[in-house]
């Protein structure tokens, strides 16, 4: 415990320490001594293994970690994680997890309230946003073709799913896993900011119908992975109502904006959704994993769709109200009490402070964008809508080149080299990617309240220092 608190909490959140002590895979294999042997090791060696695991891991709680859609240290959530791991329970029945069953229900109800479902609904925490999106696809299909549960794919026609070009890849993965097929996932064009174009959606729905397919699900994204774009849920919802389609909103990243009175307008119309995926482990900083899947339906659709009625778990003659045995709603059997991590944080901070955290993330991302516009050699890809800030760094050697193929080709090589150098230095961690014909650019995600303006200034200074000779 002392090692964890000193090395994985105190040092990992200290801006003076490295984000990562980088080693190549072959070097790390030697350092860690990964081989499993017949005989166990001494306590001193095991403690060294613990220290090494922490030492050579990426410190995502570091104030200069900006690489993913999660970051920062949330102390209350960390304490909750310790407790749930220590108690080592599972959420399939009330008798196994009486406290956590009630806590999950309370958290889901409050999240539904934030979405705007005044009459409530149903939901479940699960192993990640990708699984939440799969739940949505499975439930939507079951609502239209319930016989598919027993008869299989022969009980359904050729189905069509609609999602934006900027949506998460898990939509296509879910279609592949469920036998719908990736070619039956229709990618709807987006505007220059990465938002789904409603008129294009309706055209694709009508086109699919003419070709004999049966549209059944539209996935709208609230906070795309790269640009942080929010699809116009309100207009998409109207189209879904018109064509009797299930509207799912992937708000895994952008759902946090619902906590902010100032910024929840970004999700206008989300109350029309049939289902929502929302990951508190992202903007709201809960420890991984913490992913909620919520549905507006109150007819026990989750239960009917996934129930297998295992007699050794879900006996109907128990001494308590068996409606609290929620495991049969889930695809999983064992399920961790992840809601506790969010509940304890929410109890400690309150809705108001969680909203202020979201507001601060917006303010900090705007500060970063303004600094980028002021600095020579930096170019903003677009004004940020959320906490994603996308930009290029142009070394002095390229600044006199006109925009064109040669410039783009050379610029494309800049970000990967700077990323390599920052990883080996261990000074910070920022992601990059190409996108839509654009040369590689940096994508910084500003989330953690532990991040200061000085940290953001440092990042821009460090990118220049690491790349000015290219």
**Residues 47-93: pLDDT tens digits?**
999 999 999 999 999 999 999 999 999 999 999 999 999 999 999 89
> What is the Cα Rg of the chain in Å?
24
Q: How far apart are CA 69 and CA 129, in angstroms?
A: 12
60: CB partners within 8 A, 6+ apart: 67, 68, 70, 71, 72
pLDDT for position 309: 80
Q: What is the DSSP letter of 238?
A: H
> Domain containing 279: what range?
88-346
Q: Are 192 and 253 in contact (CB under 8 A)?
A: no
pLDDT of residue 314: 76
Q: Residue 382: inside a domain, yes or no?
A: no
Total structural domains within the chain: 1
Q: Are 91 and 327 in contact (CB under 8 A)?
A: yes
Is residue 434 in some structural domain? Answer: no
Q: Is residue 324 part of a domain?
A: yes
Contacts of residues 66-69 at CB distance under 8 Å and 24 or more positions apart, as own/partner, are: 66/428, 66/429, 66/430, 66/431, 66/444, 66/445, 66/446, 66/459, 67/429, 67/430, 67/431, 67/445, 68/431, 68/445, 69/225, 69/252, 69/253, 69/282, 69/283, 69/445, 69/447
Residue with the two structure tokens 């999106």: 133
> What's the confidence (pLDDT) of residue 311?
73
What is the pLDDT, as a whole number, of residue 318? 80
Residue 247 inside a domain? The answer is yes
Task: Please give the helix or strand (H or E) that residue 442 lies within, else none.
Answer: strand 438-445
**Which residues of the chain are modeled with pLDDT < 70?**
310, 312
Nearest to 350 by CA among 76, 125, 71, 126: 76
The DSSP element (H or E) to which 337 belongs, if any, is none
pLDDT of residue 64: 96
Does residue 401 belong to any structural domain of this protein? no
Q: Which two tokens stand for residue 26?
A: 């072959």
CA-based nearest residue to 69, from 135, 128, 131, 5? 128
pLDDT value, residue 312: 67
Q: CATH code at 227? A: 3.40.640.10
Alpha-carbon span 119 to 158, nearest angstrom: 34
Residue 206 lies in a domain: yes
> Which tens digits make up the pLDDT trace of 187-220?
999 999 999 999 999 999 999 999 999 999 999 9
Residue 18 lies in a domain: no
Contact (CB, 8 A) for 277 and 132: yes
162 domain-assigned: yes
Structure tokens given for 252: 């895994």
């Amino acid at each position: 415990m002392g090692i964890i608190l000193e090395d994985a909490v105190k040092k990992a959140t200290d801006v003076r320490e490295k984000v990562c002590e980088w080693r190549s895979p072959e070097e790390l294999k030697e350092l860690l001594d990964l081989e499993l042997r017949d005989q166990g090791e001494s306590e001193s060696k095991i403690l060294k293994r613990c220290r090494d695991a922490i030492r050579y891991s990426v410190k995502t709680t570091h104030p200069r970690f900006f690489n993913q859609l999660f970051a920062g240290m949330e102390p209350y959530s960390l304490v909750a994680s310790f407790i749930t791991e220590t108690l080592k329970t599972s959420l399939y029945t009330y008798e196994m997890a009486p406290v956590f069953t009630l806590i999950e229900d309370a958290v889901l109800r409050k999240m539904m309230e934030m979405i705007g479902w005044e009459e409530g609904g149903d939901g479940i925490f699960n192993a990640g946003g990708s699984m939440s999106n799969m739940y949505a696809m499975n439930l939507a299909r079951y609502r239209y073709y319930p016989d598919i549960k027993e008869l299989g794919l022969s009980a359904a026609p050729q189905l069509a799913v609609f999602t934006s070009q900027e949506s998460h890849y898990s939509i296509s993965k879910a279609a592949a896993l469920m036998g719908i097929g990736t070619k039956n996932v229709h990618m709807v064009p987006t505007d220059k900011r990465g938002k789904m174009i409603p008129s294009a959606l309706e055209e694709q729905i009508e086109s699919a119908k003419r070709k004999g397919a049966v549209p059944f699900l539209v996935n709208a994204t609230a906070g795309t992975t790269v640009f942080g774009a929010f699809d116009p849920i309100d207009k998409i919802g109207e189209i879904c109502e018109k064509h009797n389609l299930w509207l799912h909103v992937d708000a895994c990243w952008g759902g946090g904006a619902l906590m902010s009175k100032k910024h929840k307008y970004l999700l206008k119309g989300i109350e029309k959704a049939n289902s929502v995926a929302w990951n508190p482990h992202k903007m709201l900083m809960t420890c991984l994993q913490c992913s909620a899947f919520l549905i507006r339906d109150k007819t026990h659709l989750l239960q009917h769709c996934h129930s297998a009625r295992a007699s050794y778990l879900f006996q109907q003659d128990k001494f308590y109200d068996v409606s609290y045995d929620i495991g049969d709603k889930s695809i999983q059997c064992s399920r961790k009490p992840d809601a506790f991590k969010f509940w304890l944080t929410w109890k400690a901070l309150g809705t108001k402070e969680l909203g202020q955290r979201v507001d601060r993330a917006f303010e900090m991302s705007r500060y970063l964008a303004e600094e980028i516009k002021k600095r020579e050699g930096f170019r903003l890809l677009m004004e940020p809508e959320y906490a994603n800030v996308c930009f290029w760094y142009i070394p002095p050697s390229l600044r006199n080149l006109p925009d064109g193929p040669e410039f783009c080709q050379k610029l494309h090589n800049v970000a990967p080299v700077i990323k390599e150098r920052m990883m080996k230095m261990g000074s910070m961690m920022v992601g990059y990617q190409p996108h839509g014909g654009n040369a590689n650019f940096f994508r910084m995600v500003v989330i953690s309240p532990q991040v200061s303006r000085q940290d953001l200034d440092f990042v821009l200074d460090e990118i220049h220092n690491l790349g000015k000779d290219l």
